[in-house]
Amino acid sequence: MVASSFTRRTASGLAVAALFTRQVGAQTGSQEAERPVGQVTLSQTQVGLFFGVSWGSGTLTFGGHSHRFRIRGLGVGGIGISEVRAHGEVYRLARVADFPGLYGGARAGAVAGTSEIKGGLWLQNPAGVIISLHPSRSGYALQLGADGLLIEME
């Protein structure tokens, strides 16, 4: 039941990923005027052959406190295996309870060993929280597609 619920949620996230990305992209000008209210760091493993899975963990720093979280995800449009370490900024977060949930987003990038084409990732959840990630990858992968990412607090 948990798997099918996760799959339905992820499918919903993938369906709206492009919409979220367009909305966030259109807001980038105003986003620059906004200040981040938090920071995130994360470590994630991604494996894909057209459809991908990912898992990992991270830390949200918000309101002077650190909060650990887990990540699970499904995506489309990738091939290979990679380890991702990322840091980023969190926008529009008023309380920690709004941080977990399903995020939709789009990604682009490539990695072969330690040579990497830098990519970026904007994610948004239904509560309006936006995460801007700056990843660093290692492994062998080509990624261009959309993701549904479930964040759960530990």
Q: Count Cβ atoms below 10 Å from residue 126 Cβ, excluding itself.
A: 14
The model's pTM: 0.70
pLDDT digits (tens, 9 = 90+) for 8-60: 443 333 333 333 333 444 444 444 558 999 999 999 988 887 677 889 999 99
Residues 144, 22: Cα–Cα separation, whole Å: 15
The H-or-E segment that residue 74 falls in is: strand 65-91
pLDDT band at 154 (very low <50, low <70, confident <90, very high): very high
Residues 129, 103: Cα–Cα separation, whole Å: 9
Residues 150, 136: Cα–Cα separation, whole Å: 20
- Taking alpha carbons only, the member of 133, 151, 149 closest to residue 10 is 149
User: How confident is the model over 106-129, as a mean pLDDT?
Assistant: 68
**pLDDT above 90: percentage of residues in the chain:** 38
- Taking alpha carbons only, the member of 74, 65, 63 closest to residue 150 is 74
pLDDT attached to residue 34? 85
- Contact at 8 Å (CB) between 37 and 61? no
Tokens of 115: 């040579």
Tokens of 80: 């290979």
Rg (CA), the chain: 15
